[in-house]
Amino acid sequence: MKETKESKENKESKALSIKTLTKSSVWDVQENDIFRMLSAAEKDSELKDNLRHYASIIRSAFQIEELKNDDKASQAKYTKLGYKVGTIKMGDDVSVTWAIKKRPIMRVTDLTYENIRHISAAKLVEVLDRNFGGGWDSLSQSIQDIIETGFDISTTTLPKERLHKKGGMYDKKVADGYEVLEVEKGLWVEAIFAKVKPAAIKPKMKFDEHGENEDEDEDADVEIVDDYNKPDEDDVELEDPNDEDINENNYRTTFTIGEVDDEDAESLSDFIADE
């Protein structure tokens, strides 16, 4: 039986914990999931000390209001506004009550690098349609960059009667799974095509039967030798001469002077004579 997207998301949300939650993955969970994670961590001594850190992550995707435990009127008010209310225990005598609600993505300014990969192409088109007026180029460069990290975007502007020409670009894009937003510009129409980009596949590291990285094992067998001060193979090792053994019979210096083409140049003998 093929696994549905909804059941897959439910499995992923249950696999998450309050400690592994990030500002990106928090967009995959709902209010009940947050309270479930916090409830599972009630016996963890680190929950109280790190609650502010966890709250910062949760706030990136949820609105959080802290309520008095016995304030039933406030709890009822927030419940009517769509919030989920729950009490978090952080010890025998310490607890806190939160009202939380998922942040809606209604406008293009609600789009972030953290949530852009957690919405569908249909949702993106809905958000763009609610904010559009001037077409794709009317969006700021920063918003375009955010959208294009999660979606393949292409546009075309054609007269109305040509846009839906049978077998044209419009039909081909729709057949390829793109969602389309049409922005009217007088007698012309700008079509904006959006399709979710596939998630990047991270290369997996290979491990041997002992659980060790094979690449690391290969490196471990390589002996690094410092040859910096080692003489070259062409160098001839000579014993240091003793000054007492050097005399006019066994010490000499030779050098070769090549022929000089310059006719005006003086010979070496002429130079010595001048000295």
Per-residue pLDDT tens over the stretch 171-208: 999 999 999 999 998 899 999 999 999 976 544 544 44
Q: What's the pLDDT score for residue 239?
A: 47
Q: Which two tokens stand for residue 135?
A: 């077409």
Of the two residues 35 and 92, the one the predictor is more confident about is: 35
Cβ pair 195, 125 in contact under 8 A: no
Q: What's the pLDDT score for residue 16?
A: 83
Q: Which two tokens stand for residue 81?
A: 């506004």
Per-residue pLDDT tens over the stretch 13-56: 557 889 999 999 999 999 999 999 998 888 777 787 888 899 99
pTM: 0.64
Q: How far apart are CA 64 and CA 31, in angstroms?
A: 10
Per-residue pLDDT tens over the stretch 223-274: 444 454 454 444 444 444 455 555 555 545 444 445 545 444 444 444 444 4
Q: What's the pLDDT score for residue 42?
A: 81
Please give the span between the terminal C-alpha atoms of the chain, in angstroms, as a whole number.
105
What does the pLDDT average to over 110-123?
Answer: 96
